[in-house]
């Protein structure tokens, strides 16, 4: 929450914390389209200031002050929460890209959460594969057909850990796939007289 950057309300955060919590649990969220209190408890919390009858002839000044203060603070924090939501939405929309692969494509899977490789992390391959993408699970996860080497792994991966596989032209990079053995290196050194 971007609360700390709003001027005028940073010095007394501890005293205003109940108002922040009230504003948060009574504000409508984008994902559920309901307030957290309504989702978790099934009702919206009411406070003594909500029961204040404004049509009475005389209202105690302390009760009126308390009601006005709570209303002002809740409005301010609701505005802060709305600004934070808008800021987070803009940041997400700026960097988010929809996956550009479809079912049946060849994809590479990140080894970020794979802990069964031997050797130091920096020497590991960043991605393994290619694997065939079987289907999308909603729009943020995919199911892939894993090879025998990875058959003990769960086949579902988040889209952020998957990238499309592009075949390189082997005729362009003929020496790339060639692996050199120690026998080849010894023969080269011997022929050079090293």
42-49, Cβ contacts within 8 angstroms, sequence gap of 24 or more: 47/22
Check: CB of residue 108 under 8 Å from CB of residue 167. Answer: no
Give the predicted TM-score (pTM) of the model.
0.46
The pLDDT assigned to 87 comes to 92
**Rounded to whole angstroms, what are the CA distances from 35 to 32, 42, 49, 83, 159?**
8, 10, 19, 17, 29
pLDDT interval class at 90 (50, 70, 90): very high
Domains of the chain: 3-95 (no CATH), 97-167 (2.30.30)
Distance CA 62, CA 49 (A): 11
**Res. 106: pLDDT tops 50:** yes
1 has a pLDDT exceeding 50: no
Q: Write out pLDDT tens, residues 39-49.
A: 888 877 776 66
């Amino acid at each position: 929450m971007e609360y700390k950057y709003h001027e005028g309300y940073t010095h007394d955060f501890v005293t205003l914390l109940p108002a922040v919590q009230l504003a948060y649990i009574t504000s409508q969220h984008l994902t559920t389209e309901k307030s957290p209190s309504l989702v978790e408890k099934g009702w919206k919390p009411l406070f003594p200031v909500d029961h204040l009858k404004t049509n009475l002839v005389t209202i105690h000044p302390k009760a009126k002050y308390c009601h006005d203060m709570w209303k002002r603070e809740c409005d301010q924090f609701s505005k802060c929460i709305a600004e934070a939501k808008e800021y987070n939405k803009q940041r997400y929309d700026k960097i988010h890209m929809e996956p550009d692969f479809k079912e049946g494509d060849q994809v590479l899977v990140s080894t970020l959460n794979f802990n069964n490789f031997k050797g130091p992390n920096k020497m590991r391959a960043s991605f393994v594969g290619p694997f065939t993408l079987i289907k999308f699970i909603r729009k943020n996860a995919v199911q892939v057909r894993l090879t025998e080497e990875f058959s003990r792994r769960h086949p579902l991966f988040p889209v952020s850990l998957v990238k499309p596989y592009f075949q390189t032209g082997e005729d362009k990079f003929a020496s790339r796939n060639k692996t050199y053995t120690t026998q080849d290196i010894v023969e080269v050194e011997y022929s050079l007289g090293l």
